[in-house]
Amino acid sequence: LKKGRKGAAGIVEVRCLGVCPRGAVTVVDASRPGEWMLVPEGADLDAVAGELGLGPALD
């Protein structure tokens, strides 16, 4: 991922969202804030990127 505003995607660490998935992280797409995704440990990251609408290359 590129850094800064020119990146195709970004990661923002936030306070507790009130969801405590055991062995997973919560992903929120800013373009669809009402749809949250729980990504378990060991998930296929290519599949997760596809669900988020991210292409295979984020250069």
Query: For the purposes of burial, counting CB atoms within 10 Å of the CB of 32, is it exposed (0-12), middle (13-18) or buried (19 or more)?
Result: exposed
Alpha-carbon span 15 to 46, nearest angstrom: 26
What pTM was estimated for this model as a whole?
Answer: 0.68
Predicted local distance difference test score (pLDDT) of residue 29:
85
Task: Write the DSSP string, 16-43.
Answer: --S---TTEEEEE-TTSTT-EEEEETT-
Q: What are phi and psi of 32, to 5 degrees?
A: -135, 70
**Residues 5-58: pLDDT tens digits?**
777 777 888 888 888 888 999 998 888 889 999 999 999 989 998 888 887 654
